[in-house]
Protein backbone atom coordinates (compact mmCIF):
# COMPACT_ATOMS: atom_id res chain seq x y z
CA UNK A 1 0.00 0.00 0.00
CA UNK A 2 2.80 2.43 0.90
CA UNK A 3 4.59 1.62 -2.35
CA UNK A 4 1.40 2.41 -4.31
CA UNK A 5 0.95 5.68 -2.42
CA UNK A 6 4.57 6.59 -3.14
CA UNK A 7 3.92 6.08 -6.85
CA UNK A 8 1.01 8.53 -6.78
CA UNK A 9 3.13 11.35 -5.38
CA UNK A 10 6.61 10.81 -6.80
CA UNK A 11 5.64 11.02 -10.48
CA UNK A 12 5.85 7.29 -11.19
CA UNK A 13 2.26 7.34 -12.46
CA UNK A 14 2.35 9.68 -15.42
CA UNK A 15 -0.56 12.06 -15.80
CA UNK A 16 -1.65 12.43 -12.16
CA UNK A 17 0.20 15.73 -11.96
CA UNK A 18 -1.48 17.09 -15.11
CA UNK A 19 -3.34 20.41 -15.05
CA UNK A 20 -6.31 19.06 -17.04
CA UNK A 21 -8.85 16.69 -15.54
CA UNK A 22 -9.25 14.38 -18.61
CA UNK A 23 -5.55 13.50 -18.42
CA UNK A 24 -5.84 12.74 -14.70
CA UNK A 25 -8.90 10.55 -15.28
CA UNK A 26 -7.09 8.71 -18.08
CA UNK A 27 -4.18 8.03 -15.72
CA UNK A 28 -6.57 6.70 -13.10
CA UNK A 29 -8.18 4.41 -15.66
CA UNK A 30 -4.78 3.05 -16.67
CA UNK A 31 -3.64 2.31 -13.12
CA UNK A 32 -6.81 1.54 -11.13
CA UNK A 33 -7.07 -2.08 -10.10
CA UNK A 34 -9.95 -3.96 -8.51
CA UNK A 35 -12.29 -2.27 -6.00
CA UNK A 36 -10.75 -2.07 -2.52
CA UNK A 37 -12.55 -2.20 0.81
CA UNK A 38 -11.62 0.53 3.31
CA UNK A 39 -10.95 -1.19 6.61
CA UNK A 40 -13.13 0.14 9.42
CA UNK A 41 -15.41 2.20 7.17
CA UNK A 42 -18.76 0.96 8.60
CA UNK A 43 -17.57 1.62 12.16
CA UNK A 44 -16.35 5.07 11.14
CA UNK A 45 -19.85 5.98 9.98
CA UNK A 46 -21.21 5.17 13.42
CA UNK A 47 -18.35 6.51 15.53
CA UNK A 48 -17.62 9.82 13.77
CA UNK A 49 -20.97 10.75 12.24
CA UNK A 50 -23.43 8.95 14.54
CA UNK A 51 -25.11 7.03 11.74
CA UNK A 52 -27.54 4.33 12.82
CA UNK A 53 -28.31 2.94 9.31
CA UNK A 54 -25.79 0.57 7.74
CA UNK A 55 -23.61 1.56 4.80
CA UNK A 56 -25.88 -0.46 2.52
CA UNK A 57 -28.96 1.33 3.85
CA UNK A 58 -27.29 4.73 3.32
CA UNK A 59 -26.47 3.81 -0.27
CA UNK A 60 -30.03 2.66 -0.90
CA UNK A 61 -31.41 5.91 0.56
CA UNK A 62 -29.07 8.09 -1.50
CA UNK A 63 -29.86 6.10 -4.66
CA UNK A 64 -33.61 6.48 -4.09
CA UNK A 65 -33.34 10.22 -3.57
CA UNK A 66 -31.05 10.53 -6.59
CA UNK A 67 -33.65 8.86 -8.79
CA UNK A 68 -36.43 11.10 -7.44
CA UNK A 69 -34.49 14.35 -7.84
CA UNK A 70 -33.03 13.35 -11.19
CA UNK A 71 -36.56 13.00 -12.56
CA UNK A 72 -37.22 16.61 -11.51
CA UNK A 73 -33.87 17.79 -12.93
CA UNK A 74 -34.56 16.21 -16.32
CA UNK A 75 -38.07 17.69 -16.47
CA UNK A 76 -36.71 21.15 -15.62
CA UNK A 77 -33.90 20.70 -18.16
CA UNK A 78 -36.44 19.95 -20.90
CA UNK A 79 -38.54 22.98 -19.88
CA UNK A 80 -35.52 25.30 -19.84
CA UNK A 81 -34.13 23.86 -23.08
CA UNK A 82 -37.34 24.94 -24.80
CA UNK A 83 -37.21 28.38 -23.16
CA UNK A 84 -33.56 28.86 -24.17
CA UNK A 85 -34.16 27.48 -27.69
CA UNK A 86 -31.73 24.61 -27.27
CA UNK A 87 -31.99 21.46 -29.38
CA UNK A 88 -34.51 18.88 -28.22
CA UNK A 89 -32.76 16.24 -26.15
CA UNK A 90 -30.01 18.56 -24.86
CA UNK A 91 -28.19 17.03 -21.90
CA UNK A 92 -28.56 18.33 -18.35
CA UNK A 93 -24.99 19.58 -18.55
CA UNK A 94 -25.63 21.49 -21.78
CA UNK A 95 -28.75 23.13 -20.37
CA UNK A 96 -26.94 24.08 -17.17
CA UNK A 97 -24.12 25.69 -19.13
CA UNK A 98 -26.63 27.75 -21.13
CA UNK A 99 -28.43 28.79 -17.92
CA UNK A 100 -25.12 30.18 -16.70
CA UNK A 101 -24.74 32.21 -19.88
CA UNK A 102 -28.36 33.39 -19.84
CA UNK A 103 -28.16 34.61 -16.24
CA UNK A 104 -24.62 35.91 -15.61
CA UNK A 105 -23.55 37.73 -12.47
CA UNK A 106 -23.28 40.88 -14.58
CA UNK A 107 -23.46 44.14 -12.70
CA UNK A 108 -24.72 42.60 -9.44
CA UNK A 109 -22.03 42.87 -6.77
CA UNK A 110 -21.64 39.83 -4.55
CA UNK A 111 -21.63 42.00 -1.43
CA UNK A 112 -24.93 43.61 -2.44
CA UNK A 113 -26.54 40.28 -3.27
CA UNK A 114 -25.38 38.83 0.05
CA UNK A 115 -26.87 41.75 1.98
CA UNK A 116 -30.21 41.39 0.18
CA UNK A 117 -30.27 37.63 0.86
CA UNK A 118 -29.36 38.17 4.52
CA UNK A 119 -32.12 40.77 4.96
CA UNK A 120 -34.66 38.44 3.35
CA UNK A 121 -33.51 35.50 5.47
CA UNK A 122 -33.66 37.52 8.68
CA UNK A 123 -37.28 38.40 7.99
CA UNK A 124 -38.56 35.03 6.81
CA UNK A 125 -36.10 32.12 7.03
CA UNK A 126 -33.62 32.34 9.93
CA UNK A 127 -32.37 34.89 12.44
CA UNK A 128 -29.20 36.53 11.12
CA UNK A 129 -26.88 37.59 13.95
CA UNK A 130 -24.14 40.19 13.97
CA UNK A 131 -20.64 38.88 13.41
CA UNK A 132 -20.92 37.77 9.77
CA UNK A 133 -18.41 39.24 7.33
CA UNK A 134 -18.22 38.82 3.55
CA UNK A 135 -14.81 39.37 1.93
CA UNK A 136 -13.11 38.57 -1.39
CA UNK A 137 -10.97 35.45 -1.07
CA UNK A 138 -7.36 36.47 -0.37
CA UNK A 139 -5.01 35.46 -3.17
CA UNK A 140 -3.12 33.02 -0.94
CA UNK A 141 -6.35 31.16 -0.11
CA UNK A 142 -7.71 30.89 -3.66
CA UNK A 143 -6.17 27.43 -4.33
CA UNK A 144 -8.01 26.14 -1.24
CA UNK A 145 -11.38 27.82 -1.84
CA UNK A 146 -13.47 27.26 -4.97
CA UNK A 147 -16.58 29.42 -5.20
CA UNK A 148 -16.76 30.32 -1.53
CA UNK A 149 -16.20 29.13 2.00
CA UNK A 150 -17.21 30.19 5.48
CA UNK A 151 -14.51 30.14 8.15
CA UNK A 152 -15.52 30.56 11.80
CA UNK A 153 -13.16 32.30 14.21
CA UNK A 154 -13.35 32.93 17.96
CA UNK A 155 -16.17 30.40 18.10
CA UNK A 156 -15.24 29.28 21.62
CA UNK A 157 -15.64 32.83 22.96
CA UNK A 158 -18.66 35.06 23.58
CA UNK A 159 -17.74 37.17 20.53
CA UNK A 160 -17.71 34.72 17.63
CA UNK A 161 -17.21 35.82 14.05
CA UNK A 162 -17.69 34.15 10.72
CA UNK A 163 -15.79 35.12 7.59
CA UNK A 164 -17.41 34.26 4.27
CA UNK A 165 -14.81 34.29 1.52
CA UNK A 166 -16.07 34.52 -2.04
CA UNK A 167 -13.88 33.99 -5.13
CA UNK A 168 -15.52 36.21 -7.71
CA UNK A 169 -13.57 35.15 -10.79
CA UNK A 170 -14.47 31.48 -10.24
CA UNK A 171 -18.23 31.95 -10.51
CA UNK A 172 -19.68 33.89 -13.45
CA UNK A 173 -23.23 32.49 -13.20
CA UNK A 174 -25.71 34.50 -11.13
CA UNK A 175 -27.72 31.53 -9.83
CA UNK A 176 -24.59 29.64 -8.80
CA UNK A 177 -23.34 32.75 -7.02
CA UNK A 178 -26.61 33.10 -5.09
CA UNK A 179 -26.47 29.45 -4.05
CA UNK A 180 -22.88 29.82 -2.84
CA UNK A 181 -23.75 32.92 -0.80
CA UNK A 182 -26.86 31.33 0.72
CA UNK A 183 -25.05 28.07 1.51
CA UNK A 184 -22.01 29.66 3.14
CA UNK A 185 -24.02 32.27 5.05
CA UNK A 186 -26.01 29.38 6.52
CA UNK A 187 -22.79 28.00 8.00
CA UNK A 188 -21.86 31.40 9.40
CA UNK A 189 -25.26 31.88 11.02
CA UNK A 190 -25.03 28.40 12.53
CA UNK A 191 -21.52 28.89 13.96
CA UNK A 192 -22.25 32.33 15.44
CA UNK A 193 -25.66 31.53 16.95
CA UNK A 194 -24.36 28.27 18.36
CA UNK A 195 -21.41 30.01 19.98
CA UNK A 196 -23.71 32.67 21.43
CA UNK A 197 -26.57 30.48 22.70
CA UNK A 198 -25.70 26.78 22.98
CA UNK A 199 -24.58 27.25 26.57
CA UNK A 200 -21.19 25.54 26.48
CA UNK A 201 -18.06 25.89 24.32
CA UNK A 202 -18.02 22.08 24.17
CA UNK A 203 -21.13 22.26 21.98
CA UNK A 204 -19.30 24.39 19.41
CA UNK A 205 -16.10 22.40 18.99
CA UNK A 206 -15.00 21.90 15.40
CA UNK A 207 -15.16 18.27 14.37
CA UNK A 208 -17.21 15.54 12.68
CA UNK A 209 -20.23 16.13 14.94
CA UNK A 210 -20.71 19.52 13.25
CA UNK A 211 -21.10 18.01 9.80
CA UNK A 212 -24.63 16.55 9.83
CA UNK A 213 -26.26 19.65 11.32
CA UNK A 214 -24.36 22.53 9.71
CA UNK A 215 -23.99 20.90 6.29
CA UNK A 216 -27.56 19.64 6.45
CA UNK A 217 -28.82 23.17 7.14
CA UNK A 218 -26.72 24.71 4.38
CA UNK A 219 -27.87 22.02 1.94
CA UNK A 220 -31.52 22.72 2.77
CA UNK A 221 -31.15 26.51 2.91
CA UNK A 222 -30.59 26.54 -0.86
CA UNK A 223 -34.00 24.91 -1.24
CA UNK A 224 -35.53 27.38 1.25
CA UNK A 225 -34.41 30.36 -0.80
CA UNK A 226 -35.36 29.18 -4.29
CA UNK A 227 -38.78 27.98 -3.17
CA UNK A 228 -39.41 31.12 -1.13
CA UNK A 229 -38.87 33.11 -4.31
CA UNK A 230 -41.29 30.88 -6.22
CA UNK A 231 -43.90 31.35 -3.49
CA UNK A 232 -43.96 35.16 -3.75
CA UNK A 233 -43.25 35.95 -7.40
CA UNK A 234 -46.17 37.70 -9.08
CA UNK A 235 -47.89 38.56 -5.79
CA UNK A 236 -48.97 42.04 -4.79
CA UNK A 237 -48.48 43.68 -1.41
CA UNK A 238 -44.91 42.48 -1.00
CA UNK A 239 -42.58 43.95 1.59
CA UNK A 240 -39.45 45.86 0.63
CA UNK A 241 -37.25 42.91 1.51
CA UNK A 242 -39.34 40.59 -0.65
CA UNK A 243 -39.17 42.98 -3.61
CA UNK A 244 -35.42 43.45 -3.23
CA UNK A 245 -34.91 39.70 -3.17
CA UNK A 246 -37.08 39.10 -6.25
CA UNK A 247 -35.24 41.88 -8.12
CA UNK A 248 -32.09 39.76 -7.98
CA UNK A 249 -33.85 37.52 -10.51
CA UNK A 250 -35.07 40.27 -12.84
CA UNK A 251 -37.11 43.45 -13.03
CA UNK A 252 -40.40 42.10 -14.37
CA UNK A 253 -42.58 39.25 -13.18
CA UNK A 254 -41.89 37.34 -16.40
CA UNK A 255 -38.12 37.73 -16.00
CA UNK A 256 -38.28 36.75 -12.35
CA UNK A 257 -40.43 33.69 -13.03
CA UNK A 258 -38.02 32.37 -15.66
CA UNK A 259 -34.94 32.99 -13.52
CA UNK A 260 -36.55 31.40 -10.45
CA UNK A 261 -37.38 28.31 -12.50
CA UNK A 262 -33.72 28.19 -13.51
CA UNK A 263 -32.74 28.67 -9.85
CA UNK A 264 -34.82 25.65 -8.91
CA UNK A 265 -33.02 23.71 -11.65
CA UNK A 266 -29.69 24.83 -10.19
CA UNK A 267 -30.74 23.82 -6.68
CA UNK A 268 -31.91 20.38 -7.77
CA UNK A 269 -28.68 19.78 -9.67
CA UNK A 270 -26.75 20.38 -6.47
CA UNK A 271 -29.09 18.04 -4.63
CA UNK A 272 -28.25 15.39 -7.25
CA UNK A 273 -24.54 16.09 -6.75
CA UNK A 274 -24.86 15.59 -2.98
CA UNK A 275 -26.64 12.26 -3.48
CA UNK A 276 -23.89 11.18 -5.89
CA UNK A 277 -21.17 12.12 -3.42
CA UNK A 278 -22.85 10.00 -0.76
CA UNK A 279 -23.15 7.03 -3.12
CA UNK A 280 -19.54 7.46 -4.25
CA UNK A 281 -18.30 7.53 -0.65
CA UNK A 282 -20.15 4.37 0.33
CA UNK A 283 -19.64 2.35 -2.83
CA UNK A 284 -15.93 3.10 -3.23
CA UNK A 285 -15.04 2.67 0.44
CA UNK A 286 -17.09 -0.52 0.75
CA UNK A 287 -15.19 -1.93 -2.22
CA UNK A 288 -18.26 -2.32 -4.39
CA UNK A 289 -16.79 -0.40 -7.32
CA UNK A 290 -13.76 1.72 -8.23
CA UNK A 291 -13.89 5.49 -8.46
CA UNK A 292 -13.55 5.47 -12.26
CA UNK A 293 -16.34 2.90 -12.52
CA UNK A 294 -18.48 5.22 -10.40
CA UNK A 295 -17.71 8.15 -12.72
CA UNK A 296 -18.83 6.14 -15.74
CA UNK A 297 -22.12 5.14 -14.10
CA UNK A 298 -22.85 8.62 -12.71
CA UNK A 299 -22.15 10.37 -16.00
CA UNK A 300 -24.39 8.01 -17.94
CA UNK A 301 -27.18 8.32 -15.38
CA UNK A 302 -27.17 12.11 -14.93
CA UNK A 303 -25.93 13.65 -18.19
CA UNK A 304 -23.30 15.65 -16.28
CA UNK A 305 -19.77 15.71 -17.62
CA UNK A 306 -17.06 13.39 -16.36
CA UNK A 307 -14.84 16.35 -15.56
CA UNK A 308 -17.53 18.00 -13.42
CA UNK A 309 -18.33 14.79 -11.56
CA UNK A 310 -14.65 14.17 -10.90
CA UNK A 311 -14.25 17.62 -9.37
CA UNK A 312 -17.35 17.24 -7.21
CA UNK A 313 -16.72 13.72 -5.90
CA UNK A 314 -13.00 13.00 -5.86
CA UNK A 315 -11.87 15.34 -3.08
CA UNK A 316 -14.57 14.05 -0.71
CA UNK A 317 -12.93 10.62 -0.73
CA UNK A 318 -10.23 12.15 1.49
CA UNK A 319 -12.83 12.31 4.31
CA UNK A 320 -14.70 8.99 4.39
CA UNK A 321 -18.20 9.40 5.80
CA UNK A 322 -18.39 13.16 5.30
CA UNK A 323 -20.43 13.07 2.09
CA UNK A 324 -23.18 10.76 3.42
CA UNK A 325 -23.44 12.84 6.61
CA UNK A 326 -23.82 15.94 4.43
CA UNK A 327 -26.41 14.55 2.03
CA UNK A 328 -28.46 12.04 4.03
CA UNK A 329 -28.83 14.32 7.03
CA UNK A 330 -29.49 17.30 4.77
CA UNK A 331 -32.64 15.68 3.45
CA UNK A 332 -33.56 14.60 6.97
CA UNK A 333 -33.16 18.20 8.15
CA UNK A 334 -35.64 19.29 5.49
CA UNK A 335 -38.11 16.63 6.60
CA UNK A 336 -37.85 17.81 10.20
CA UNK A 337 -38.40 21.40 9.12
CA UNK A 338 -41.50 20.49 7.13
CA UNK A 339 -42.89 18.50 10.06
CA UNK A 340 -42.38 21.48 12.39
CA UNK A 341 -44.16 23.83 9.98
CA UNK A 342 -47.02 21.34 9.63
CA UNK A 343 -47.48 21.60 13.42
CA UNK A 344 -48.08 25.37 13.11
CA UNK A 345 -44.44 26.34 13.53
CA UNK A 346 -42.59 28.71 11.22
CA UNK A 347 -39.58 28.10 8.98
CA UNK A 348 -37.72 30.93 10.70
CA UNK A 349 -38.35 29.63 14.21
CA UNK A 350 -37.27 26.10 13.29
CA UNK A 351 -34.11 27.19 11.47
CA UNK A 352 -33.12 29.59 14.25
CA UNK A 353 -33.61 26.88 16.89
CA UNK A 354 -31.48 24.46 14.86
CA UNK A 355 -28.76 27.06 14.30
CA UNK A 356 -28.49 27.95 18.00
CA UNK A 357 -28.68 24.53 19.65
CA UNK A 358 -25.02 23.53 19.38
CA UNK A 359 -23.42 20.51 17.78
CA UNK A 360 -24.66 17.34 19.44
CA UNK A 361 -24.33 13.87 17.90
CA UNK A 362 -26.84 13.70 15.07
CA UNK A 363 -29.24 11.28 16.77
CA UNK A 364 -29.57 13.80 19.64
CA UNK A 365 -29.99 16.71 17.19
CA UNK A 366 -32.73 14.79 15.43
CA UNK A 367 -34.54 14.16 18.70
CA UNK A 368 -34.23 17.78 19.85
CA UNK A 369 -35.51 19.08 16.52
CA UNK A 370 -38.56 16.84 16.80
CA UNK A 371 -39.38 18.14 20.28
294-325 pLDDT, tens digit per residue, is 999 999 999 899 999 999 999 899 999 999 99
The pLDDT score that the predictor gives to residue 271 is 96
Residues 20 and 50 in one domain: no
* Domain co-membership, 348 together with 221: yes
Q: Are residues 12 and 83 in the same domain?
A: no
- Digit-coded pLDDT (tens) for 319-335: 999 999 999 999 999 99
Residue-wise pLDDT tens digits, 199-214 = 999 999 889 999 999 9
- Say if residue 13 is in the same domain as residue 140: no
Q: Which domain holds residue 188?
A: 32-370
Query: How sure is the predictor about 174, in pLDDT bands with cuts at 50, 70 and 90?
Result: very high
Co-location of 26 and 116 in the same domain: no
Model pLDDT, residue 108: 87
Predicted local confidence at residue 4, as pLDDT? 54
The pLDDT confidence band at residue 288, using thresholds 50, 70 and 90, is very high
Check whether residue 24 and residue 73 sit in a common domain.
no
Residues 56 and 156 in one domain: yes
Looking at the structure, tell me whether residues 158 and 16 fall in a common domain. Answer: no
Least confident of 73-87, 116-130, 169-183, 216-230: 169-183
Count structural domains, the chain.
Answer: 2
Chain-centre distance of CA 338, in angstroms?
Answer: 19
Residue bearing the bigger pLDDT, 136 or 56: 56
State yes or no: pLDDT of 12 exceeds 70: no
What pLDDT does 167 receive? 86
Do 11 and 117 share a domain, yes or no?
no
Mean pLDDT of the chain: 92
At residue 277, the pLDDT reads 97
Query: Are residues 183 and 328 part of one domain?
Result: yes
Mark whether 16 and 109 lie in a shared domain.
Answer: no
Out of 143-157, 186-200, 216-230, which region has the weakest mean confidence (pLDDT)?
Answer: 143-157
Arithmetic mean of pLDDT, 6-26: 74
pLDDT at 2 over 50: no
Task: Compute the average pLDDT of residues 14-19.
Answer: 77
Q: Mean pLDDT across the stretch 340-350?
A: 96
pLDDT at 9 > cutoff 70:
no
Answer yes or no: do 184 and 308 share one domain: yes
Amino acid sequence: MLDHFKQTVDGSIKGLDADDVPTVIHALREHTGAPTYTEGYPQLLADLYDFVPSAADLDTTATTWLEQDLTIVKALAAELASLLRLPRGSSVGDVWAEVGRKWPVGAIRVKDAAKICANFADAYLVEVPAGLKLSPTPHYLEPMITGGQDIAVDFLTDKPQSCLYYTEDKTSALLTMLNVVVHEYSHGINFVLSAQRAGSPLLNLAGPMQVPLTEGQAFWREWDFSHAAADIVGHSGLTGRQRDYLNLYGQTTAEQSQAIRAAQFETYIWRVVRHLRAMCDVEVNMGWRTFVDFLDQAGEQTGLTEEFLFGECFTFLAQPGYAPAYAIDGIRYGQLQQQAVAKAGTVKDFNTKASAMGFYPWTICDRKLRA
